[in-house]
Structure 1
Amino acid sequence: MPADLIHLVRHGEVENPEGVLYGRIPGFGLSRLGHRMASASADSLKAHGAPVRALVASPLQRTRESAAPWAEAFGLETAIDERLIEPTNRYEGRRGGFAKSVVRPAEWPWIVNPLKPSWGEAYVSIAARTLAAVDAAWRSIDDGDVVLVSHQLPIWMVHRSLLGQRLFHDPRRRRCSLSSITTLARRGDAFVEVDYREPAAALQAAAVDTGAV
Structure 2
Amino acid sequence: MPSTTIHFVRHGKVENPDHLLYERLPGFHLSGSGVRMARATAQYIAQNPQLNTVTALYSSPLERTRETAGEILAQLNAQRAQRGQAPLSLIADDRLIEARNEFRGTRIGHGDGALWRQRNLRLVSNLWKPSWGETYAQIAQRVSDFADEKIQQYQGQQIIVVSHESPIWSYRHLLETGHPEHNMLMRHTALASVTSITYDCETGRVLSIDYADPAADVL
TM-score, normalised to structure 1, is 0.86
**Secondary structure, in 3 states, of the residue corresponding to 1:100?**
coil
1:138 and 2:154 aligned: no
Say which of 49, 65, 83 aligns to 2:95: 83
1:184 and 2:186 aligned: no
Determine which structure has more spread, i.e. the larger CA radius of gyration. 2
Say which of 51, 60, 69 aligns to 2:71: 69
| Residues 99/24 of structure 1: CA separation in 2 closer, same or farther (3 Å cut) | closer
| Residue matched to 2:14 | 14
| Residue matched to 1:34 | 34
Matched-pair contact (CA < 8 Å) for 2:57–2:91: yes
**Secondary structure, in 3 states, of the residue corresponding to 2:177?**
coil
* Residue identity in the other structure for 2:210: D
Matched-pair contact (CA < 8 Å) for 1:57–1:148: yes
Q: Equivalences for 1:47-126 in 2 at 5 Å?
A: 47-49=47-49, 50=51, 51-75=53-77, 76-96=88-108, 100-101=116-117, 103-104=118-119, 108=122, 110-126=123-139
- Number of equivalent positions: 201
| Residue matched to 1:210 | none
Paired with 1:114 and 1:48, the residues of 2 have a C-alpha distance of 37
* Residue identity in the other structure for 2:186: R
| Residue matched to 2:85 | none
CA-CA distance at 1:69 after TM superposition: 1.5
Matched-pair contact (CA < 8 Å) for 2:10–2:162: yes
CA-CA distance at 1:169 after TM superposition: 2.5
| Residue matched to 2:46 | 46
**Secondary structure, in 3 states, of the residue corresponding to 1:182?**
strand
* Residue identity in the other structure for 1:81: D
Paired with 2:131 and 2:15, the residues of 1 have a C-alpha distance of 28
* Unaligned residue ranges in structure 1 (runs of 5+): 207-213
CA-CA distance at 1:58 after TM superposition: 0.2
TM-score, normalised to structure 2, is 0.84
Paired with 1:82 and 1:34, the residues of 2 have a C-alpha distance of 22
CA-CA distance at 1:89 after TM superposition: 0.5
* Residue identity in the other structure for 1:125: Q
Paired with 1:5 and 1:129, the residues of 2 have a C-alpha distance of 18
CA-CA distance at 1:193 after TM superposition: 4.1
Matched-pair contact (CA < 8 Å) for 2:128–2:184: no
**Secondary structure, in 3 states, of the residue corresponding to 1:15?**
coil
Paired with 1:31 and 1:153, the residues of 2 have a C-alpha distance of 20
CA-CA distance at 1:73 after TM superposition: 1.9
| Residue matched to 2:209 | 194
Paired with 1:128 and 1:166, the residues of 2 have a C-alpha distance of 11
1:52-100, CA deviations, whole angstroms, 9 ceiling, x for partnerless residues? 1100000000000000022112221100110000011111011248962
Aligned-residue Cα RMSD (Å) equals 2.2
Matched-pair contact (CA < 8 Å) for 1:7–1:147: yes
